[in-house]
Amino acid sequence: MMNEERWVNLVAVVVFGLTLAALVGPWWHLSPAWVASTTLVLLGLATADAWLWQSQGLTFLLGLWPSERVLHHEAGHFLVAHLMGIPIEDYTLDSWSSWRRGYPPSEAGVRLGTVPLSLWPQCPVVWMAGVAAEEWLYGDARGGVLDQEQALRHLEGFPPAERPWRLRLAQREAQVLLQNHAAAYWALVEAMRQRKSVAECVATIEQHLQSASGLET
């Protein structure tokens, strides 16, 4: 799906900035021709990116500076996958890291390993964990459309009428897991913020799980 909303927002910001430059340009000795030509070039690049490359260029640029939401979203996926016993191969939080590791820039996120067939029923919970983390922390979710599509693929064996509530159930289960393991979640967030390896992130989770287990006994 094209990132029309982000493309439109970027164009609006560019137009506003260049309009402002045109107004204050005389104070800074900016040539009106320079402002006009810059506007045309930037709008041309934005249009070409949107229609020829499906906004991959914009996705790459915006993904260079991941937000706190991205970090919290992906930590949700990571923690719930580990709790479910699903292996994690890698994770990235920005487009630069994804490109550098050979992934499409638009596919920053947690990359799962081979999922045993016995754990396939748990996959919707993992896919909805990012949305669950956002809603838990921010009260709403701005990402997760592709996650929902992935979760629904795992629910295709159920009647269509059942899939929406099963999706909500998976999200609720993910949120309960995150809240019940809040200490491990926040420790994982800090580990991922520091771009620690998957092994180090897993060790961080296990350390907090063992501490919690010791407190319970």
Q: Residue 106 pLDDT more than 80?
A: no
Highest mean pLDDT range out of 4-13, 36-45, 187-196?
A: 187-196
Residues 6+ apart with CB under 8 A from 177: 79, 80, 83, 125, 129
Residue where a domain stops, chosen among 30, 47, 62: 62
Question: Are 171 and 119 found together in one domain?
Answer: yes
Question: Are 91 and 46 found together in one domain?
Answer: no
Residue where a domain stops, chosen among 46, 62, 78: 62
* Cα 121–Cα 123–Cα 126 angle in degrees, nearest 5: 140
Q: What is the mean pLDDT of residues 86-95?
A: 90
Q: Which domain holds residue 186?
A: 68-216
Question: Are 169 and 192 found together in one domain?
Answer: yes
Question: Are 73 and 25 found together in one domain?
Answer: no
Highest mean pLDDT range out of 1-5, 25-29, 49-53, 113-117?
A: 113-117
Question: Are 96 and 48 found together in one domain?
Answer: no
Question: Are 57 and 75 found together in one domain?
Answer: no
Look at the chain and report how many structural domains it folds into. 2
Question: Are 58 and 75 found together in one domain?
Answer: no
Q: Residue 91 pLDDT more than 90?
A: yes
Q: Residue 117 pLDDT more than 50?
A: yes
DSSP state of 54: T
What is the predicted pLDDT for the residue at 58? 47
Q: What is the mean pLDDT of residues 182-194?
A: 97
